[in-house]
Amino acid sequence: MDTNYISSVQVSKEHYKIQSYVKKQRWLNFYYQIQSILQIRPQNVLEIGPGPGIVTDTLRKSNISVVTLDIDPNNASNVIGCVMNLPFMDKSFDVVLCSQVLEHISYDFFKTAINSLYRVSKKYIIIGLPHSGIKFQLQFKVPYFNTFSFFKKLPFFWRKHSFDGQHYWEVGKRHYLKKQIRNQLINWGYKIDGEQFYFDDPGHWILTLRRQ
């Protein structure tokens, strides 16, 4: 087992420049992260890996107190630290948001990271993970009604993931299917309060865990 889960910083500060990093689908993913939090109506949030800070800024403008944490000291977060061992007291935050982070750590440490997130959360954990696969979509508009969309995603269940310099694993590939991850979380004793998978943001899977 690889025990060097902190290793080195994989993504530099320059990677998060708005012009190159924030494409349309990423904007949509930020939107869905924000909506997932706003519907909970928390007073405070811990955001791990804030990236360009779009989610952080929006939540703060919605009168929510946000503390940010990142492993990279150059990313101007409030706290420098690792998701595996969060430097906060138990039950410090109403919501802990950890999106597009856990795939940067070996899956061997997935449970340890989830336990760490759970420890500092009072109520909810929101996790965003990359989802690989092929999307099939049908969309049509009926006059005087909303647009109707149907989509299905075929995961790359036959494809083994190889470390690409950033991602150690991705949902949808062999050994990392949604059903497998969902069952593991349940077996570990976590309650899945909801999961979202959007037709206009098919590359991400958002899970909400609730403290029991």
- pLDDT, mean of residues 133-158: 83
List pLDDT tens digits, range 166-202: 899 999 999 999 999 999 999 999 999 999 988 888 8
Q: Does residue 9 surpass a pLDDT of 80?
A: no
List pLDDT tens digits, range 19-47: 556 677 788 999 999 999 999 999 999 99
3-state secondary structure of 40: coil
Q: Does residue 1 surpass a pLDDT of 60?
A: no
Give the strand pairing for 93-99 and 147-155. Answer: unpaired
Mean confidence (pLDDT) of the chain: 88
CA atoms within 13 A on the CB side of 126: 27
- pLDDT, mean of residues 124-152: 85
pLDDT at position 46, please? 98
Distance of alpha carbon 169 from alpha carbon 156, whole angstroms: 12
Band (pLDDT 50/70/90 cuts) for residue 11 is: low
- Residue 187, both tokens: 């077996």
Residue 125's CB is within 10 A of a number of other CB atoms, namely 22
CA atoms within 13 A on the CB side of 66: 25
Q: Residue 107: what are its φ and ψ, rounded to 5°?
A: -60, -20
- pLDDT, mean of residues 2-9: 51
Q: Find residue 204's DSSP bridge partners.
A: 130
Per-residue buried b or exposed e for 28-61, using 16+ beta carbons within 10 Å of the residue's own CB: bbbbbbbebbeebebeebbbbbbbbbbbbebbee
Q: Find residue 45's DSSP bridge partners.
A: 66, 95
Distance of alpha carbon 102 from alpha carbon 98, whole angstroms: 8
Q: Does residue 123 surpass a pLDDT of 80?
A: yes
Lowest mean pLDDT among 56-65, 103-112, 194-203: 194-203
Band (pLDDT 50/70/90 cuts) for residue 15 is: low
Q: Does residue 18 surpass a pLDDT of 70?
A: no
CATH no., domain 13-210 = 3.40.50.150
pLDDT at position 14, please? 58
Q: Does residue 10 surpass a pLDDT of 70?
A: no
Chain centroid, CA 123 distance in Å: 17
- pLDDT, mean of residues 134-162: 84
